[in-house]
Amino acid sequence: MSAEAVVEVRGLVKRFGDLEVLKGIDLKVREGETVVLLGVSGSGKSTLLRCINFMETPTEGRVFESGKLVGTEKNGRMVYRERELCALRTRIGMVFQHFNLFPHMTALQNVMEGQTTVLRESREAAEKNAIEQLRRVGLEDKAFEYPARLSGGQKQRVAIARALSMNPRVMLFDEVTSALDPELVGEVLKAIRQLADEGMTMIIVTHELGFAYHVADRVLFLDGGEIIEQGPPAEILVKPETRRAKEFLEGHSLFKLPD
């Protein structure tokens, strides 16, 4: 294999009580790869992302980050220590549908917070990096605004800058444009696309199929907690093999494939 797997998931099962949401997922994401996850509501996309950075603890299976197993195995069961998981999450950035900016901090402070509190960097270094990250998403002039005074698109870009400020090895995006007014979607997608061009490793859940087509190296189709189809976007999005994938794509009738 040419490039190392930044994230690898083996036999991932997640149950909430009796409900089995993920039924044994295997997934390998290579350095610099952009993977787009598609699937109907409730198919387990968010849960899969959240198991990768341990916002949720997997019920069964293993997660590897840069080739290293997360957690330790004891008597055939995985044991995870909070310290290890906190450190892991600094290397896996996540951006949420509803931004979740810290409302009592300015944009700049939001982006500095993880660096100073978690990574224990000096204020000067954190501030310098934070401004750099805000510039990356085109918001250096909003550094001293509080979230309440930012538009949805601007909030989401600050959230992206906040995740980037930790210098993560991989970024997870969970429907980051779903809560935005249509005219604000473009600016956020542009920022993500730019990251892809810079070679950032990313796993993206989105319903913007046109965007997926352009940005993805690989598209995964999730249904009922299983990956039922995967491959390059030109194949999966144009001539899907499974009936479920076809139905899903037909449901997004607004999606016009570029010729």
Partner 1 sequence: MNYQWDFQTVWENFDVLWIGLIGTLKIFSVTVVLGLFGGLIVGMGRYARPIWIRGPASIFVEFFRNTPVLVQIIWFYFALPILVPINVSPFLAAVLGISLNTAAFSAEIYRGGIQSIEPGQWEAAKAIGMNYAQTMRRIILPQAIKRMLPPLTNRGIEAFKMSTLASVVAYVETLNQAKLIASLNFNPIETYSVVAFAFFVILYPLVQATYVLERMFGKSD
| Strand duo 201-205 + 170-174: pairing | parallel
Tell me if 83 contacts partner 1 by CB under 8 A.
yes
* DSSP designation for 142: G
CB 227, min distance to Mg ion, A:
16
Whether the CB-CB separation of 222 and 37 falls below 8 Å is answered with yes
Give me the DSSP letters along 195-206: HHHTT-EEEEE-
Identify what 41 binds: Mg ion, ligand ATP, partner 1, none; CB under 5 to 8 Å per kind.
ligand ATP
Binding track, positions 19-58, relative to partner 1; x by CB under 8 A: ----------------------------------x-x---
Question: How distant, in Å, are the alpha carbons of 92, 168, 190, 201, 213 from that of 195?
Answer: 15, 12, 9, 9, 16
| Residue matched to tokens 């499974």 | 242
Show Cβ contacts of residue 232 under 8 Å, excluding neighbours closer than 6 positions. Answer: 216, 217, 218, 219
Q: Considering the complex, state which of residue 19 and residue 148 has its C-beta at the smaller distance from ligand ATP.
A: 19
Sheet holding 34-38, edge to edge: 92-95, 170-174, 201-205, 34-38, 218-223, 226-231
Q: With contacts defined by CB under 6 A, name the span among 45-53, 100-108, 142-150, 160-168 that binds ligand ATP.
A: 45-53
Tell me if 68 contacts partner 1 by CB under 8 A.
no
Q: Considering the complex, state which of residue 90 and residue 97 has its C-beta at the smaller distance from ligand ATP.
A: 97
Q: Considering the complex, state which of residue 40 and residue 105 has its C-beta at the smaller distance from ligand ATP.
A: 40
Interface positions with Mg ion (CB under 5 A): 46
Contact footprint for partner 1 (CB under 8 A): 53, 55, 82-83, 86-90, 93-94, 96, 98-104, 113-114, 117-119, 148, 159, 162-163, 166
The site for ligand ATP (CB under 6 A) is made up of 16, 19, 21, 39, 41-47
